[in-house]
Amino acid sequence: MKRNPANFLGAFLVGVALGVARALSAADTAVTPGDAPVVVPLSSLDLGRLLQYEASPQANKSVGGRPLSIAGRKFATGVGTHARSVLWIDLQGGSQRFVAWVGIDDEVVPPIVLRELRSAVGKGLEESRRINGRVMFQIYGDGKRLWKSPAMQPGMPAERVDVDLVGIRTLVLVAASLGEAVNLDHADWADAQFLVAGGKPRAIDPPREEARVLTPPESPHPRINGARVFGTRHGSPFRFTIPATGERPMRFAARGLPRGLSLDPATGRIAGVSPGSGRWEVVLRASNRLGTAESRLAIVSGDALALTPPMGWNTWNVFGGSPDDAKVRAAADAMARSGLIDHGWTYINIDDCWQRKHSATNPSVGGAPRDGEGRIMPNARFPDMKALCDHIHGLGLKAGIYSSPGLYTCQGHAGSLGHEEQDARRYAEWGFDYLKYDWCYTSYTADDVSLHHQRIPWATMAKALAGTKRDIVFSLSETLDVWPWAREVGANCWRTTGDIQDTWASIDGIGFNQNGREIVAGPGHWNDCDMFEVGMLGGGKLRPTRLTPNEQYTHVSLWCLLASPLLIGCDLAQLDDFTRGLLANDEVIAVNQDPLGRQARRVARDENVEVWAKEMEDGSRAVGLFNRGEFEERVEVRWADIGLAGQASVRDLWRQRDLGESVGSHAIRVPRHGVALIRIQRRAR
């Protein structure tokens, strides 16, 4: 791809030798064409525009803040990043060459290796080295690849970059992670410089995209959606709302319900007391003036909660530290009014900050956290928890609450330490159906943070919840690796990630790092990739998600494939058509809610593209063809990689459209950061 490399390098070297190539900083204005070329260091660009998953890019330092060093060689300047990292640059017509040295920074050899390994439960040093710390550096000019490095690993000597940029308008620098996870991918662009005569390179935002609603409009004909299996605990109050779309009024019927349960034909709500252990195959029916739909629902009683990943909403991503009764009611009302409830969305969950905070002077959250008998007290923003739960239940929805096993929650409100049974009882009395239990302030309460001791707080609360005789889903929120054993301490779901954000770096970094964890997922126990970052988000002032439309399709598709709990994080009262389309596509949701309960795994990858597949109960495969790269790519799924053979039908799930039959493989062009979510069904012989 280089044009006349010798000439440009020659001019550059001569310039340097004559002292006419001066270093230009980001603050300098453009170089006048005809002037002798100047050197613009990459580190002088606005690195705030560089996208990366972990930590922040560093000018003239490694991402860990140390002097840049690759295989023992030190570099005075450059940019330390953490793969995957991406920087878009407008060259403004003036750049002639880009030169650099690339490699993995030496800081990832011990002690960092050892620190990172501590969280890689169950993996030995060699294994971790093998799967992590592999980066491919890529350079694109106007959408075409100009250069790529070999797979760079810790300890490998720096690779020289020398790329001709004449005629190129937009440059994109990528450090792509090739490992199983991104740990150790400390990627350096060392001594990285542009040789400039004319317009000066400028970091820019990636191109904007049009938001296209792919989900077809809802039919007025009746259709029963959502999970086809529902679990409960023997003797608990039973609550299930048949999710059905179609014109109202609608009448509901159910055949084969266990004794003790009854259906309200006008609302489609099934209620009563959960039967003794067993499984009932129930036939549900929904009718309106246009027709009738039937669907099967297996009701399973025993210790059988969350047989499909929980679906709902949570206050945190939108209201942060200031949830209140009115906001939660408004969310529940909107969940019902918007019709999301008809697609299976169920839980309305209050996150942190509903409790009192001992240290607060603000009367809306201050006060004694517990009453004279030790019972947890909601703060003044939640005047009547029982009434709130009743309101949520009255809409056919369920309610969730939050606590921590420590003295305090993550935001410093009262935690459950020493009051687990009492708190579980209180949640049950109020009417809650879901508990997010968040590991905070626990290190202050136990000297021994061994695995054994880490498990105790979770197991204590699980036991307390089980004692309530109420179907309370137990969700662990913990950024350390609890997934290998969380099921054993009685959890229904557990976080496998740090806190999600509405950036591509976060979605990409979380979503594509879940491979291997599928071994612990299944009905009743799920890996949780954290909450959706689509729609109007905020904390304080609300704003739309920063994810592009394609990134949002990737986010929802991947979370569905990964069988993650689906918790909407946005303001439900402000759902635009695009966001609603993302959340109300029944064929996409069906991937997440499939009764077999498999979690997708990565079946193929090639540089920027990945194929993830999930085995479905009917023998078909839900497959995500993903493009993590910066430009459109062709992505292909091969039957051999997903355990199929011969002729198979392919369906586009977002558009709910058949794509015809393919033999052996199927390929689709996928946009930047986008996905094609398809279902492949082997043709019946």
Residues involved in catalysis: 438, 499
Helix axes 325-337, 385-394, angle to 10 degrees: 10
Closest residue to ligand GLA, Cβ-based? 410
Which one of 477, 545, 548, 620 is in contact with ligand GLA (CB under 6 A)?
477
Q: For residue 510, what are the contacts with CB-CB under 8 A and spacing of at least 6?
A: 497, 498, 500, 529, 530
Between residues 206 and 321, which has the closer beta carbon with respect to ligand GLA?
Answer: 321
215 binds ligand GLA (CB under 6 A): no
Whether the CB-CB separation of 324 and 382 falls below 8 Å is answered with yes
Give residue for tokens 């309101």. Answer: 391
Minimum CB separation from ligand GLA for residue 531, in Å? 7
Binding window for ligand GLA (CB under 6 A); candidates: 115-123, 181-189, 378-386, 409-417? 409-417
Please provide residue 647's backbone torsions phi and psi, each rounded to the nearest 5 degrees. -90, 140
Give residue for tokens 């708190």. Answer: 423
- Binding track over 335-374 against ligand GLA, x by CB under 6 A: ----------------xx----------------------
The residue type at 167: G
325 binds ligand GLA (CB under 6 A): no
Which one of 52, 60, 308, 411 is in contact with ligand GLA (CB under 6 A)?
411
Between residues 412 and 490, which has the closer beta carbon with respect to ligand GLA?
Answer: 412
Minimum CB separation from ligand GLA for residue 522, in Å? 23
599 binds ligand GLA (CB under 6 A): no
Residues 143-162 that bind ligand GLA (CB under 6 A): none
Cβ density class 130-166: b for 16+ within 10 Å, e for less = ebbbbbbbbbbbeeebbbbbeebbbebebbebebbbe
Between residues 304 and 401, which has the closer beta carbon with respect to ligand GLA?
Answer: 401
User: DSSP characters for 204-243?
Assistant: EPPPP------SPPPPSS-EE-S-SEEEE-TTSEEEEE--
Between residues 409 and 557, which has the closer beta carbon with respect to ligand GLA?
Answer: 409
403 binds ligand GLA (CB under 6 A): no
Between residues 243 and 412, which has the closer beta carbon with respect to ligand GLA?
Answer: 412
Beta bridge partners of 356: none
How far does Cα 329 stand from its chain's mean position?
A: 26
Q: Name the burial class of residue 459, with classes exposed (0-12), middle (13-18) and buried (19+) by CB atoms within 10 angstroms of its CB.
A: middle
Between residues 292 and 445, which has the closer beta carbon with respect to ligand GLA?
Answer: 445
Minimum CB separation from ligand GLA for residue 84, in Å? 22
3-state secondary structure of 83: coil
Between residues 141 and 415, which has the closer beta carbon with respect to ligand GLA?
Answer: 415
Beta bridge partners of 662: 648
Binding window for ligand GLA (CB under 6 A); candidates: 127-135, 405-413, 571-579, 665-673? 405-413
Between residues 197 and 376, which has the closer beta carbon with respect to ligand GLA?
Answer: 376
- Binding track over 438-457 against ligand GLA, x by CB under 6 A: x-------------------
- Binding track over 270-309 against ligand GLA, x by CB under 6 A: ----------------------------------------
Give Rg (Cα) of the chain.
Answer: 27
* Total residues interacting with ligand GLA, rule: CB under 6 A: 9
Minimum CB separation from ligand GLA for residue 352, in Å? 4
Binding window for ligand GLA (CB under 6 A); candidates: 10-18, 169-177, 406-414, 645-653? 406-414
Between residues 404 and 608, which has the closer beta carbon with respect to ligand GLA?
Answer: 404
Binding window for ligand GLA (CB under 6 A); candidates: 38-46, 199-207, 404-412, 418-426? 404-412
3-state secondary structure of 285: strand
316 binds ligand GLA (CB under 6 A): yes
Minimum CB separation from ligand GLA for residue 502, in Å? 14
Minimum CB separation from ligand GLA for residue 499, in Å? 5
Please tell me whether the peptide bond between 84 and the residue prior to it is cis, using omega within 30 degrees of 0: yes
Following CA atoms 130, 108, 600, 299 in sequence, which dihedral angle do they give, to the nearest 10 degrees? 120
Q: Name the burial class of residue 308, with classes exposed (0-12), middle (13-18) and buried (19+) by CB atoms within 10 angstroms of its CB.
A: buried
Give residue for tokens 């400390």. Answer: 186
Minimum CB separation from ligand GLA for residue 529, in Å? 12
Give residue for tokens 């999970």. Answer: 227
Minimum CB separation from ligand GLA for residue 402, in Å? 6
Minimum CB separation from ligand GLA for residue 495, in Å? 7
67 φ/ψ sector (left φ>0, alpha ψ -120 to 50, else beta): beta
Q: How far apart are CA 673 and CA 548, in angstroms?
A: 9
Binding window for ligand GLA (CB under 6 A); candidates: 374-382, 403-411, 421-429, 660-668? 403-411
Give residue for tokens 């921590």. Answer: 404
499 binds ligand GLA (CB under 6 A): yes
Q: Name the burial class of residue 25, with classes exposed (0-12), middle (13-18) and buried (19+) by CB atoms within 10 angstroms of its CB.
A: exposed
3-state secondary structure of 335: helix
Quote the DSSP letter at residue 420.
Answer: H
User: DSSP characters for 268-280?
Assistant: TEEEEEPPSSEEE
Q: How far apart are CA 104 and CA 106, in angstroms?
A: 6
410 binds ligand GLA (CB under 6 A): yes
Between residues 316 and 639, which has the closer beta carbon with respect to ligand GLA?
Answer: 316
Q: Which residues are at the interface with ligand GLA (CB under 6 A)?
A: 316, 351-352, 409-411, 438, 477, 499
